[in-house]
Amino acid sequence: MAKREIKFSLVYRDMWQSSGRYQPRVDQLVRVAPAIVDMGCFDRVETNGGAFEQVNLLYGENPNVSVRKWTAPFHKAGIQTHMLERGLNAIRMYPVPADVRELMFKVKKKQGTDIARSFCGLNDHRNLKLSIEFAKKGGMISQAALSITHSPVHTVDYYLKLVDQLVEYGTDEICLKDMAGIGRPTQLGQIVAGIKKAHPEIKVQYHGHTGPGFSPASMLEVARAGADYLDVAVEPLSWGKVHPDVITIQQMMRADGFQVKDINMDAYMEVRRLTQEFIDDFLGYWINPTNSQMTSLLVGCGLPGGMMGSMMADLKGFQGAINAAQRAHGRPEMSLDTLMVKLFEEVEYVWPRLGYPPLVTPFSQYVKNTALMNLFNMLNDKPRWTTIDKDTWGMILGNMGQLPGQLAPEIVALAKEKGMEFSTGNPQDNYPDELPKFRAMMDEEGWDYGEDDEELFELAMHERQYRDYRSGIAKERFNTELAELKAKAGAPIVVERPVVEMPKFPVEEYVAKYPKATPVQCPVKGQLLWEVDVDDASKAPIVGRKVKAGEVIGHVQAFYGMEDIVAAVDGLFVAVLGKQGDKVDKAEIIAFIQ
């Protein structure tokens, strides 16, 4: 009896996405593609989707050129290419109109992408229905993904019922997207076995991050249960918070009796060398070295490993304020490690009470942010749930889809107390078609729609970033930031320990003065603008000004565009630390509302 074959997919996009902010430039991608082909062990390569198109725009490159040139060598070699998209959110972080979503699949197929991996962070099948239909209509293979997590509600039966619905919609394949790597191997094997029993014609692909350490065992279990494809990585961006390395997984599968392709090790070393060259060139300046480390601390909280860097920056931003509160209450100060453990514990408390949303972008951020504010408020003798931001409320109220679990009674009561209404409708209905508007914009600017309407698509999907790319502002910002990082580091930051600076503002002084106030945290790194296009620092908010929760109270000019600062609570400005035009860091406390 012939051995069953296990095939491998190189997730070259996600290797970078899980490591830092940027992807390689197109000139780098076309250099590494032949070596990937020569490795001889890949039937698929993940080439684009997710943040790929957006980050190209952010450093001033045309993503349409990148996708076409990057996918071409794999097509010529008979290797399938695939992309990642977020269902209702497509390839950005917020909802996308249906007509723009449909155009995306047409464009990406024409550009050379064969397979659309579509996931919903809430596992709401309604958000995937159009992805499946549009992918197939556009000529792509539809691969619907299950967002894997570990909770009392995320049972084998839960996932198999979801698969039944996705197969009814017409998906060709199923992916188990284990984005935090916390899926338990036995359960994952049971899910795959159930899929193969109910739908033997459906191909199954497993994608698991290595952060907490389960993924090799998970790969063995899903392979034994009937999985067809496994996602793998290559050094120097394998293991850590990323994905298992193809060498180890290939040898493990072969030892278990599976048929696997040989690896051309000369080509492997060339891919490894080029990838390191790209890191040394510029990409390493945005890679946190801790991403190369695995940690079992992720098992309990279930947060994706890629969030660790931003989470530690958030904690560092709050450490001074928290320790000021500790001193004011006669309690000992806390180290960063102690705060991290407390935050993990609070995530474990918050997550089930918010309905067990799978901890994948953007819902992992919502849960983490709520836990962080709970921690801060409780250490200031204020109750949990005092501060919940508007995006998290959108998730709670069902505006983005149905939560997998039940909300805690106190959350439901709090929503009713605030006069909020829960939504049960299809989330897509809240976002009417917009392509005619963007066609008019292109016509007004005198811009060509591009081959297969690809330029129209980029404007409609990433309007702000696309305009900055067209004007040249994006490249200028990127080059400025890169020059600053090089000057600061003196050498590629990949060989150094990350340094997180203390906030420049006198946070502790204000915490002691206003112990009941809620901090306003800077959403991104950039220039603080309480008023747009105003240089006068006196235009900063006046202490005593009333604000409402959800109100835009200021802005930060980031390297890629403008980000709003939103009030999390009703109240008065009691202190404003950051002045108009100040340079601010992500997570820095810039004001207080009471």
pLDDT tens digits for 199-248?
Answer: 999 999 999 999 999 999 999 999 999 999 999 999 999 999 899 999 99
Whether omega for the bond prior to residue 236 falls within 30 degrees of 0, making it cis, is yes
Contact predicate 168/284, CB 8 Å: no
- Give yes or no for residue 500 having a pLDDT over 50: no
Q: What is the pLDDT of residues 153-178, one digit of tens each?
A: 999 999 999 999 999 999 999 999 99
Contact predicate 114/141, CB 8 Å: yes
Where along the chain do its domains lie?
Answer: 7-291, 297-429, 514-593
Contact predicate 124/401, CB 8 Å: yes
Mean per-residue pLDDT, 329-348: 86
Longest dimension (CA), the chain: 80
For residue 447, give Cα distances in angstroms to 65, 441, 466.
16, 9, 12
Q: What is the pLDDT of residues 86-141, one digit of tens each?
A: 999 999 988 999 999 999 999 999 999 999 999 999 999 999 999 999 999 999 99
Angle between helices 363-379 and 308-328 (to 10 degrees): 10
For residue 198, give Cα distances in angstroms to 146, 167, 169, 193, 202.
16, 10, 15, 9, 9
Burial class, 142, CB count within 10 angstroms (exposed 0-12 / middle 13-18 / buried 19+)? buried
Give the dihedral sign, CA 434/440/441/442: positive
What is the CATH number assigned to the segment(s) 7-291?
A: 3.20.20.70
Q: What is the pLDDT of residues 3-41, one digit of tens each?
A: 899 999 999 999 998 888 899 999 999 999 999 999 999
Q: Give the pLDDT of residue 387.
A: 84
- Give yes or no for residue 497 having a pLDDT over 80: no
Burial class, 364, CB count within 10 angstroms (exposed 0-12 / middle 13-18 / buried 19+)? buried
Q: What is the pLDDT of residues 255-313, one digit of tens each?
A: 999 999 999 999 999 999 999 999 999 999 988 787 888 888 888 777 776 666 567 66
Residue 226's region, left for phi above 0, alpha for psi from -120 to 50, else beta, is left
Tokens of residue 39, six digits: 């490795």
When the candidates are 3.30.70.2860, 2.40.50.100, 1.10.1330.10, 3.30.230.30, the CATH number that belongs to 514-593 is 2.40.50.100
Contact predicate 566/390, CB 8 Å: yes
Contact predicate 235/272, CB 8 Å: yes
In the three-class reduction of DSSP (H, G, I as helix; E, B as strand; rest coil), residue 566 is classed as strand
Write down the mean pLDDT value for the chain.
Answer: 88
- Given the structure tokens 């095939």, which residue do they identify? 7
Using pLDDT thresholds of 50, 70 and 90, give the confidence band for residue 61. Answer: very high
Distance in angstroms (rounded) separating the CA atoms of residues 489 and 494: 10
Q: What is the pLDDT of residues 425-441, one digit of tens each?
A: 999 999 999 999 999 99
Buried b (16+ CB within 10 A) or exposed e, 119-135: bbbbbbbbbbbbbbbbb
Q: What is the pLDDT of residues 547-580, one digit of tens each?
A: 887 778 888 876 545 677 878 778 888 888 877 7
Q: Give the pLDDT of residue 155.
A: 97
- Given the structure tokens 């293979």, which residue do they identify? 141
Using pLDDT thresholds of 50, 70 and 90, give the confidence band for residue 542. Answer: low
Q: What is the CA radius of gyration of the chain?
A: 24
Burial class, 215, CB count within 10 angstroms (exposed 0-12 / middle 13-18 / buried 19+)? buried
- 126, 157, 196: which is closest to 424 by C-alpha? 126
Q: Give the pLDDT of residue 495.
A: 35
351-360, 489-498, 528-537 — which one is most confidently predicted on average? 351-360
What is the 8-class DSSP label of residue 520? Answer: E
What is the 8-class DSSP label of residue 408? Answer: P
Strands 552-558 and 518-521, how do they pair? unpaired
Q: Give the pLDDT of residue 559.
A: 52
Q: Give the pLDDT of residue 178.
A: 96
Contact predicate 49/117, CB 8 Å: yes
Percent of the chain clearing pLDDT 70 (strictly above): 91
Domain 7-291 matches domain 514-593 at the CATH topology level: no
Tokens of residue 449, six digits: 């729609």
The residues facing 67 across adjacent strands are none
Of 138-152, 180-194, 385-399, the least confident: 385-399
Q: How many helices (H) and strands (E) does the chain have?
A: 22, 16
Q: What is the pLDDT of residues 433-484, one digit of tens each?
A: 999 999 999 999 999 999 999 999 999 999 989 999 999 999 998 999 899 8
Q: What is the pLDDT of residues 506-519, one digit of tens each?
A: 666 676 677 778 88
> What does pTM read for this prediction?
0.84
Q: Give the pLDDT of residue 192.
A: 98
- Given the structure tokens 């996600």, which residue do they identify? 14
- 227, 101, 121: which is closest to 174 by C-alpha? 227
Q: Give the pLDDT of residue 323.
A: 81
Tokens of residue 92, six digits: 């950005």
Q: Give the pLDDT of residue 502.
A: 38
Distance in angstroms (rounded) separating the CA atoms of residues 357 and 428: 19
Q: Give the pLDDT of residue 127.
A: 97
Distance in angstroms (rounded) separating the CA atoms of residues 308 and 464: 28
- Give yes or no for residue 541 having a pLDDT over 60: no
Tokens of residue 140, six digits: 């792509």
Contact predicate 85/46, CB 8 Å: no
Tokens of residue 491, six digits: 């050498």
What is the 8-class DSSP label of residue 558? Answer: E
Angle between helices 454-461 and 435-445 (to 10 degrees): 110
How far, in whole angstroms, is CA 513 from its chain's centroid? 37
